[in-house]
Structure 1
């Protein structure tokens, strides 16, 4: 899969407002620490890539994961029914490209409670659009997955999210044009 370098250059001031069916989550994006991941996330959010996608993976006390485009045309109930079925294709979709890992260069790559990070396959450079939010600290992930934001408001919302809940839209505040 082609490796993509985003055109958007983060300033470090960007805040993602993830609007979900359970409420809003505000995440301070780490543009200085993970510029490729933040640039990619900002571009996808601005294009409306995430609008209407559903969360497809929930592991209590671990993570809630979304951003798979294979959930776009499914109802929330269909996502719930297909979750966990390895043949359903949930968790396998992306934007058609991948981005370079930054966990090895990010000086603050810490999976704290509410951290926003990119999911990937076994290839370290395979992240694309799928992200997860940590349900508590997950430091075993620090050396293998790129953290690119930290929740500043809405941890209560993150705790309520389940498989099938909708990402209504993601707005980016303080982004430069």
Structure 2
């Protein structure tokens, strides 16, 4: 069994367990952590996670975050100036882009077809690298999670810390990690 298939099996074990309904938003988040070199393989096999979700009686919604920055930049009034002087974009990234990315995710989280039995899955978060942190976007939408939020996270997880693309400074987050570490199902740990 390949790494992606093993992650999907571990994910199914977790998502198929009875869901607690009274959790805080960040406790409803699940990070499927995989080596950054497996990004294309994961995208090709994303249906394994969808099938695991629907086979356990839950709904599935997928958001591909890959094009979010490009769409935001295309709609930005002074984009030509930012291309000429990229350092002037820093403040706008910290505020406007985080809000834009959060609103894209919030639209899926709060749509009429998303309920307490829906998994909203997000792929393509590597596109945020260099522009913002995944943690800043999640902080904006945490109260909007109805069912579960699954983030496909190319990077590392160790000692409750996540590192996007194995490069960014790590950050602590309460999400449930699903990893391949040491052959142990991390989500079964206390």
| TM-score over 0.5 (shorter chain) | no
TM-score by length of 1: 0.27
- What TM-score does the superposition give when structure 2 sets the normalisation length? 0.26
**Max radius of gyration: which structure?**
2
- Structure (1 or 2) with the greater strand fraction: 1
